[in-house]
Amino acid sequence: MLVLAIKGSPRKKGNTDYLLGLFMAEARKRGWETEVIDAVKENFEPCIGCGNCERTGFCSIKDTMPERFFSPLRRADVVVVSVPTYFYAVPARIKGLMDRTQTLWSRKYLFKIKDAGHDHRKGVLLAAAATHGRDLFDGIKLNVKYFLDAAGAAFEENLCYRGIDSRGAMERHPTVHGDVALLAQRVLSPFEQRRTWVFACRENAGRSQMAAAFARFLAGDRIEVISAGSAPGEKVNPLVVAAMAEKGIDLAFLKPVPLGDILEKCSPHLLVTMGCGQECPLVPGCRVVDWDLPDPAAMDLDGVRALGNEIEKRVNALVKDFSAAAVE
Ligand SMILES: Cc1cc2nc3c(=O)[nH]c(=O)nc-3n(C[C@H](O)[C@H](O)[C@H](O)COP(=O)(O)O)c2cc1C
Protein backbone atom coordinates (compact mmCIF):
# COMPACT_ATOMS: atom_id res chain seq x y z
CA MET A 1 0.00 0.00 0.00
CA LEU A 2 1.61 3.22 -1.14
CA VAL A 3 0.63 6.84 -0.48
CA LEU A 4 2.36 9.08 -3.01
CA ALA A 5 2.39 12.78 -2.11
CA ILE A 6 3.19 15.74 -4.30
CA LYS A 7 4.37 18.64 -2.22
CA GLY A 8 3.78 22.04 -3.73
CA SER A 9 4.89 24.72 -1.27
CA PRO A 10 8.14 26.59 -1.96
CA ARG A 11 8.21 27.73 1.70
CA LYS A 12 10.43 25.66 4.01
CA LYS A 13 8.54 24.19 6.97
CA GLY A 14 5.38 25.91 5.74
CA ASN A 15 1.76 25.33 6.62
CA THR A 16 0.89 22.80 3.96
CA ASP A 17 4.11 20.87 4.62
CA TYR A 18 2.94 20.55 8.21
CA LEU A 19 -0.47 19.31 7.02
CA LEU A 20 1.13 16.80 4.67
CA GLY A 21 3.52 15.64 7.40
CA LEU A 22 0.55 14.85 9.66
CA PHE A 23 -1.21 12.87 6.93
CA MET A 24 1.89 10.87 6.02
CA ALA A 25 2.61 10.13 9.70
CA GLU A 26 -0.95 8.77 10.04
CA ALA A 27 -0.40 6.61 6.95
CA ARG A 28 2.88 5.20 8.27
CA LYS A 29 1.28 4.51 11.65
CA ARG A 30 -1.30 2.43 9.78
CA GLY A 31 1.42 0.42 8.01
CA TRP A 32 1.51 2.26 4.65
CA GLU A 33 4.61 2.94 2.59
CA THR A 34 4.94 6.67 1.86
CA GLU A 35 6.81 8.60 -0.80
CA VAL A 36 6.99 12.37 -1.33
CA ILE A 37 7.79 14.19 -4.56
CA ASP A 38 8.87 17.74 -3.85
CA ALA A 39 7.73 19.66 -6.93
CA VAL A 40 9.95 22.61 -6.03
CA LYS A 41 13.17 20.64 -5.53
CA GLU A 42 12.54 18.39 -8.56
CA ASN A 43 12.21 21.48 -10.72
CA PHE A 44 10.80 19.62 -13.76
CA GLU A 45 10.66 21.52 -17.04
CA PRO A 46 7.05 22.55 -17.63
CA CYS A 47 5.05 21.38 -20.66
CA ILE A 48 5.93 23.20 -23.90
CA GLY A 49 2.76 22.24 -25.76
CA CYS A 50 4.66 20.54 -28.59
CA GLY A 51 1.98 17.86 -29.05
CA ASN A 52 4.50 15.00 -29.00
CA CYS A 53 2.56 13.09 -26.33
CA GLU A 54 -0.61 13.43 -28.41
CA ARG A 55 1.18 11.87 -31.40
CA THR A 56 3.39 9.27 -29.68
CA GLY A 57 2.13 8.85 -26.11
CA PHE A 58 5.46 10.07 -24.73
CA CYS A 59 6.84 13.49 -23.72
CA SER A 60 9.50 15.14 -25.85
CA ILE A 61 11.25 16.49 -22.74
CA LYS A 62 13.83 13.96 -21.66
CA ASP A 63 14.21 14.20 -17.92
CA THR A 64 13.51 12.14 -14.79
CA MET A 65 9.75 12.79 -14.79
CA PRO A 66 8.72 9.24 -15.89
CA GLU A 67 10.98 7.64 -13.31
CA ARG A 68 10.40 10.10 -10.46
CA PHE A 69 6.67 10.62 -10.87
CA PHE A 70 4.93 8.25 -13.32
CA SER A 71 6.53 5.03 -11.99
CA PRO A 72 5.58 5.47 -8.30
CA LEU A 73 2.22 6.89 -9.39
CA ARG A 74 1.37 3.61 -11.09
CA ARG A 75 2.09 1.71 -7.87
CA ALA A 76 0.21 4.14 -5.61
CA ASP A 77 -3.22 3.50 -4.11
CA VAL A 78 -3.58 7.06 -2.82
CA VAL A 79 -2.21 10.31 -4.26
CA VAL A 80 -2.04 13.39 -2.03
CA VAL A 81 -1.53 16.91 -3.38
CA SER A 82 -0.48 19.52 -0.78
CA VAL A 83 -0.52 23.17 -1.86
CA PRO A 84 -0.70 26.70 -0.55
CA THR A 85 -3.00 29.08 -2.43
CA TYR A 86 -1.12 31.45 -4.73
CA PHE A 87 -3.44 33.96 -6.41
CA TYR A 88 -6.39 31.54 -6.15
CA ALA A 89 -4.34 28.83 -7.86
CA VAL A 90 -1.49 26.42 -7.13
CA PRO A 91 2.19 27.57 -7.06
CA ALA A 92 4.11 27.55 -10.34
CA ARG A 93 6.40 24.53 -9.82
CA ILE A 94 3.63 22.11 -8.98
CA LYS A 95 1.57 23.48 -11.87
CA GLY A 96 4.55 22.63 -14.11
CA LEU A 97 4.46 19.04 -12.87
CA MET A 98 0.69 18.87 -13.37
CA ASP A 99 0.96 20.12 -16.93
CA ARG A 100 3.51 17.43 -17.76
CA THR A 101 0.81 14.91 -16.83
CA GLN A 102 -0.64 15.73 -20.26
CA THR A 103 1.32 12.63 -21.32
CA LEU A 104 -0.96 10.48 -19.18
CA TRP A 105 -4.01 12.45 -20.36
CA SER A 106 -3.05 11.67 -23.97
CA ARG A 107 -2.54 7.99 -23.23
CA LYS A 108 -5.90 7.79 -21.48
CA TYR A 109 -8.09 9.89 -23.77
CA LEU A 110 -6.40 9.72 -27.17
CA PHE A 111 -4.77 6.27 -27.07
CA LYS A 112 -7.56 4.85 -24.85
CA ILE A 113 -5.20 3.03 -22.48
CA LYS A 114 -5.55 3.22 -18.73
CA ASP A 115 -3.24 1.91 -16.06
CA ALA A 116 -4.63 -0.99 -14.10
CA GLY A 117 -5.05 0.91 -10.82
CA HIS A 118 -7.00 3.68 -12.49
CA ASP A 119 -10.45 2.72 -11.26
CA HIS A 120 -9.45 2.24 -7.62
CA ARG A 121 -6.83 4.92 -6.91
CA LYS A 122 -7.97 7.79 -4.68
CA GLY A 123 -6.82 11.40 -4.65
CA VAL A 124 -6.71 13.85 -1.73
CA LEU A 125 -6.12 17.62 -1.66
CA LEU A 126 -4.58 19.38 1.35
CA ALA A 127 -4.52 23.18 1.06
CA ALA A 128 -4.23 26.42 2.99
CA ALA A 129 -4.83 30.11 2.25
CA ALA A 130 -4.52 33.38 4.16
CA THR A 131 -7.94 34.86 3.50
CA HIS A 132 -11.53 33.70 4.00
CA GLY A 133 -13.42 34.15 0.71
CA ARG A 134 -16.15 31.69 -0.17
CA ASP A 135 -14.63 30.81 -3.55
CA LEU A 136 -11.07 30.70 -2.24
CA PHE A 137 -10.39 27.06 -3.14
CA ASP A 138 -12.63 26.70 -6.20
CA GLY A 139 -9.81 27.13 -8.73
CA ILE A 140 -7.45 24.76 -6.91
CA LYS A 141 -10.12 22.09 -6.49
CA LEU A 142 -10.95 22.10 -10.20
CA ASN A 143 -7.28 22.06 -11.14
CA VAL A 144 -6.48 19.18 -8.79
CA LYS A 145 -9.58 17.22 -9.81
CA TYR A 146 -8.60 17.22 -13.49
CA PHE A 147 -4.93 16.64 -12.76
CA LEU A 148 -5.87 13.59 -10.68
CA ASP A 149 -8.17 12.36 -13.42
CA ALA A 150 -5.29 12.39 -15.92
CA ALA A 151 -3.03 10.77 -13.31
CA GLY A 152 -5.57 7.98 -12.86
CA ALA A 153 -7.07 8.86 -9.48
CA ALA A 154 -10.53 9.93 -8.34
CA PHE A 155 -10.68 13.17 -6.36
CA GLU A 156 -12.03 11.67 -3.15
CA GLU A 157 -11.52 14.14 -0.29
CA ASN A 158 -10.03 17.51 0.58
CA LEU A 159 -9.00 19.43 3.66
CA CYS A 160 -8.71 23.15 2.90
CA TYR A 161 -8.02 25.68 5.65
CA ARG A 162 -8.85 29.39 5.44
CA GLY A 163 -7.16 32.11 7.51
CA ILE A 164 -3.78 30.33 7.60
CA ASP A 165 -0.89 32.61 6.69
CA SER A 166 2.22 33.02 8.85
CA ARG A 167 4.56 30.08 9.28
CA GLY A 168 3.34 27.94 12.20
CA ALA A 169 -0.32 28.96 11.84
CA MET A 170 -1.33 25.48 10.70
CA GLU A 171 0.43 23.90 13.66
CA ARG A 172 -1.55 26.10 16.04
CA HIS A 173 -4.91 25.26 14.44
CA PRO A 174 -7.10 23.75 17.18
CA THR A 175 -8.63 20.85 15.20
CA VAL A 176 -5.97 20.00 12.62
CA HIS A 177 -4.69 16.80 14.28
CA GLY A 178 -8.17 15.33 14.64
CA ASP A 179 -9.19 16.47 11.14
CA VAL A 180 -6.22 14.73 9.54
CA ALA A 181 -6.61 11.55 11.59
CA LEU A 182 -10.26 11.28 10.54
CA LEU A 183 -9.40 12.00 6.90
CA ALA A 184 -6.71 9.31 6.92
CA GLN A 185 -9.16 6.86 8.46
CA ARG A 186 -11.81 7.56 5.79
CA VAL A 187 -9.44 7.42 2.84
CA LEU A 188 -7.02 4.69 3.86
CA SER A 189 -9.09 2.16 5.79
CA PRO A 190 -10.98 0.71 2.76
CA PHE A 191 -7.62 -0.27 1.20
CA GLU A 192 -6.49 -1.90 4.43
CA GLN A 193 -9.27 -4.50 4.29
CA ARG A 194 -7.86 -6.06 1.09
CA ARG A 195 -6.16 -9.44 0.71
CA THR A 196 -2.64 -9.34 -0.78
CA TRP A 197 -1.73 -11.26 -3.92
CA VAL A 198 1.82 -11.39 -5.29
CA PHE A 199 2.56 -12.45 -8.87
CA ALA A 200 6.19 -13.43 -9.38
CA CYS A 201 8.29 -14.47 -12.34
CA ARG A 202 12.01 -14.20 -13.05
CA GLU A 203 12.49 -10.73 -14.53
CA ASN A 204 9.17 -9.09 -13.63
CA ALA A 205 9.21 -7.90 -17.22
CA GLY A 206 6.36 -9.94 -18.75
CA ARG A 207 4.30 -12.70 -17.16
CA SER A 208 3.99 -11.30 -13.64
CA GLN A 209 3.38 -7.76 -14.95
CA MET A 210 0.53 -8.96 -17.17
CA ALA A 211 -1.03 -11.11 -14.44
CA ALA A 212 -0.82 -8.33 -11.86
CA ALA A 213 -2.34 -5.81 -14.26
CA PHE A 214 -5.33 -8.06 -15.01
CA ALA A 215 -5.86 -8.79 -11.31
CA ARG A 216 -5.56 -5.13 -10.34
CA PHE A 217 -7.87 -4.07 -13.13
CA LEU A 218 -10.51 -6.64 -12.14
CA ALA A 219 -10.33 -6.50 -8.36
CA GLY A 220 -7.99 -3.75 -7.17
CA ASP A 221 -10.57 -2.52 -4.67
CA ARG A 222 -10.67 -5.93 -2.97
CA ILE A 223 -7.15 -7.20 -3.56
CA GLU A 224 -3.79 -5.50 -3.12
CA VAL A 225 -1.89 -6.74 -6.16
CA ILE A 226 1.90 -6.71 -6.37
CA SER A 227 4.22 -8.10 -9.02
CA ALA A 228 7.93 -8.83 -8.67
CA GLY A 229 10.81 -10.85 -10.06
CA SER A 230 13.45 -13.14 -8.55
CA ALA A 231 16.03 -11.56 -10.90
CA PRO A 232 14.42 -8.28 -12.01
CA GLY A 233 15.18 -7.01 -15.51
CA GLU A 234 15.89 -3.42 -16.56
CA LYS A 235 12.42 -2.67 -17.90
CA VAL A 236 9.10 -4.20 -18.88
CA ASN A 237 9.31 -6.04 -22.22
CA PRO A 238 8.10 -3.53 -24.90
CA LEU A 239 6.12 -6.27 -26.71
CA VAL A 240 4.32 -7.00 -23.44
CA VAL A 241 3.52 -3.28 -23.12
CA ALA A 242 2.24 -3.30 -26.74
CA ALA A 243 0.09 -6.43 -26.30
CA MET A 244 -1.47 -5.08 -23.10
CA ALA A 245 -2.13 -1.71 -24.74
CA GLU A 246 -4.28 -3.59 -27.29
CA LYS A 247 -6.41 -4.65 -24.32
CA GLY A 248 -6.65 -1.04 -23.10
CA ILE A 249 -4.21 -1.55 -20.20
CA ASP A 250 -1.20 0.74 -19.92
CA LEU A 251 2.00 -0.87 -18.58
CA ALA A 252 4.30 1.99 -19.61
CA PHE A 253 6.46 3.51 -16.86
CA LEU A 254 6.25 0.39 -14.65
CA LYS A 255 9.57 -0.86 -13.34
CA PRO A 256 10.57 -4.44 -12.42
CA VAL A 257 11.06 -4.88 -8.67
CA PRO A 258 12.91 -7.54 -6.64
CA LEU A 259 10.73 -10.23 -5.08
CA GLY A 260 12.92 -10.33 -1.96
CA ASP A 261 12.16 -6.65 -1.20
CA ILE A 262 8.43 -7.24 -1.61
CA LEU A 263 8.33 -10.28 0.66
CA GLU A 264 10.24 -8.36 3.33
CA LYS A 265 7.55 -5.69 3.33
CA CYS A 266 4.35 -7.75 3.13
CA SER A 267 2.83 -11.12 3.97
CA PRO A 268 0.80 -12.18 0.95
CA HIS A 269 -2.27 -14.40 1.18
CA LEU A 270 -1.57 -15.76 -2.30
CA LEU A 271 1.68 -16.10 -4.24
CA VAL A 272 1.45 -17.04 -7.92
CA THR A 273 4.81 -18.11 -9.33
CA MET A 274 5.58 -18.30 -13.04
CA GLY A 275 8.98 -19.71 -13.79
CA CYS A 276 11.08 -18.18 -11.06
CA GLY A 277 12.20 -21.77 -10.35
CA GLN A 278 14.45 -22.47 -7.39
CA GLU A 279 14.55 -18.80 -6.47
CA CYS A 280 10.79 -18.69 -5.75
CA PRO A 281 10.63 -18.69 -1.98
CA LEU A 282 8.29 -20.50 0.35
CA VAL A 283 6.17 -18.06 2.32
CA PRO A 284 4.75 -19.44 5.57
CA GLY A 285 0.96 -19.34 5.76
CA CYS A 286 0.60 -18.29 2.14
CA ARG A 287 -1.16 -20.27 -0.58
CA VAL A 288 1.30 -20.81 -3.44
CA VAL A 289 0.13 -21.56 -6.98
CA ASP A 290 2.62 -22.33 -9.75
CA TRP A 291 1.69 -21.56 -13.35
CA ASP A 292 3.80 -23.34 -15.93
CA LEU A 293 3.96 -20.57 -18.53
CA PRO A 294 6.71 -19.82 -21.07
CA ASP A 295 8.97 -16.77 -20.78
CA PRO A 296 7.91 -14.13 -23.35
CA ALA A 297 11.49 -12.80 -23.67
CA ALA A 298 12.11 -14.54 -27.01
CA MET A 299 8.54 -14.30 -28.37
CA ASP A 300 7.16 -12.18 -31.20
CA LEU A 301 4.05 -10.01 -30.69
CA ASP A 302 1.67 -12.84 -31.67
CA GLY A 303 3.27 -15.11 -29.08
CA VAL A 304 3.00 -12.43 -26.40
CA ARG A 305 -0.66 -11.82 -27.32
CA ALA A 306 -1.45 -15.53 -26.91
CA LEU A 307 0.40 -15.65 -23.59
CA GLY A 308 -1.52 -12.58 -22.44
CA ASN A 309 -4.83 -14.26 -23.32
CA GLU A 310 -3.87 -17.35 -21.34
CA ILE A 311 -2.81 -15.27 -18.32
CA GLU A 312 -6.02 -13.24 -18.52
CA LYS A 313 -8.06 -16.47 -18.46
CA ARG A 314 -6.20 -17.75 -15.40
CA VAL A 315 -6.47 -14.45 -13.52
CA ASN A 316 -10.18 -14.26 -14.35
CA ALA A 317 -10.65 -17.70 -12.82
CA LEU A 318 -8.67 -16.74 -9.69
CA VAL A 319 -10.74 -13.59 -9.19
CA LYS A 320 -13.99 -15.48 -9.83
CA ASP A 321 -13.06 -18.10 -7.20
CA PHE A 322 -12.09 -15.35 -4.79
CA SER A 323 -15.39 -13.49 -5.34
CA ALA A 324 -17.42 -16.68 -4.93
CA ALA A 325 -15.59 -17.56 -1.69
CA ALA A 326 -16.16 -14.02 -0.40
CA VAL A 327 -19.92 -14.33 -1.04
CA GLU A 328 -20.22 -17.76 0.58
C1 LIG B 1 2.78 34.45 -4.07
C2 LIG B 1 1.72 34.29 -3.04
C3 LIG B 1 0.39 34.38 -3.41
C4 LIG B 1 -0.62 34.18 -2.48
N5 LIG B 1 -1.92 34.26 -2.89
C6 LIG B 1 -2.91 34.07 -1.99
C7 LIG B 1 -4.28 34.19 -2.38
O8 LIG B 1 -4.61 34.41 -3.55
N9 LIG B 1 -5.23 34.02 -1.44
C10 LIG B 1 -4.92 33.77 -0.12
O11 LIG B 1 -5.82 33.65 0.69
N12 LIG B 1 -3.63 33.61 0.27
C13 LIG B 1 -2.62 33.78 -0.62
N14 LIG B 1 -1.32 33.64 -0.22
C15 LIG B 1 -1.02 33.20 1.17
C16 LIG B 1 -0.68 31.71 1.29
O17 LIG B 1 -1.64 30.91 0.64
C18 LIG B 1 -0.63 31.32 2.79
O19 LIG B 1 0.37 32.07 3.43
C20 LIG B 1 -0.38 29.85 3.04
O21 LIG B 1 -0.61 29.57 4.41
C22 LIG B 1 1.04 29.44 2.67
O23 LIG B 1 1.20 28.04 2.85
P24 LIG B 1 2.66 27.37 2.95
O25 LIG B 1 3.25 27.84 4.25
O26 LIG B 1 2.39 25.92 2.94
O27 LIG B 1 3.44 27.81 1.76
C28 LIG B 1 -0.30 33.87 -1.13
C29 LIG B 1 1.06 33.78 -0.75
C30 LIG B 1 2.05 34.00 -1.69
C31 LIG B 1 3.50 33.90 -1.25
Residues 10 and 83 in one domain: yes
- pLDDT of 159: 98
Q: How far is the CA of 171 from the centre of ligand 1 (A)?
A: 16
- pLDDT of 253: 96
CB 220 within 8 A of CB 119: yes
- Give the C-alpha separation, 213 to 308, whole Å: 11
pLDDT in tens, the chain (328 residues): 999 999 999 999 999 999 999 999 999 999 999 999 999 999 999 999 999 999 999 999 999 999 999 999 999 999 999 999 999 999 999 999 999 999 999 999 999 999 999 999 999 999 999 999 999 999 999 999 999 999 999 999 999 999 999 999 999 999 999 999 999 999 999 999 999 999 999 999 999 999 999 999 999 999 999 999 999 999 999 999 999 999 999 999 999 999 999 988 888 999 999 987 666 677 788 999 999 999 999 999 999 999 999 999 999 999 999 988 876 5
- Give the C-alpha separation, 255 to 75, whole Å: 10
CB 192 within 8 A of CB 266: no
**HEC sequence for 184-253:** HHHHHHHHHCCEEEEEEECCCCCHHHHHHHHHHHHHCCCEEEEEEECCCCCCCCHHHHHHHHCCCECCCC
Residue 117 DSSP one-character state = T
Residues 207 and 156 in one domain: no
Residues 203 and 140 in one domain: no
Secondary structure class of 168 (helix, strand, coil)? coil
CB 286 within 8 A of CB 269: yes
- Give the C-alpha separation, 228 to 224, whole Å: 13
Terminal Cα distance for the chain, rounded: 27
Residues 160 and 275 in one domain: no
Residues 125 and 221 in one domain: no
Residues 237 and 320 in one domain: yes
Question: Who's near 319: CB < 8 A, 6+ residues apart?
Answer: 215, 218, 219, 223
Amino acid at 257: V
Which protein residues touch ligand 1 with a CB less than 6 Å away?
Answer: 9, 11, 14-17, 84-88, 128-131, 136, 164-165
Q: Give, for ligand 1, the residue of 11, 20, 87 to mutate: max count of ligand atoms closer than 8 Å to Cβ.
A: 87
- Give the C-alpha separation, 207 to 290, whole Å: 12
Number of domains observed in the structure of the chain: 2
Of the candidates 148, 170, 192, which is a domain's last residue?
192
Q: What residues make up the domain containing 217?
A: 195-327
- Give the C-alpha separation, 75 to 200, whole Å: 16
CATH number at residue 89: 3.40.50.360
Of the candidates 132, 160, 192, which is a domain's last residue?
192
CB 271 within 8 A of CB 181: no
CB neighbours (10 Å) of residue 258? 14
Q: Give, for ligand 1, the residue of 11, 12, 85, 95 to mutate: max count of ligand atoms closer than 8 Å to Cβ.
A: 85
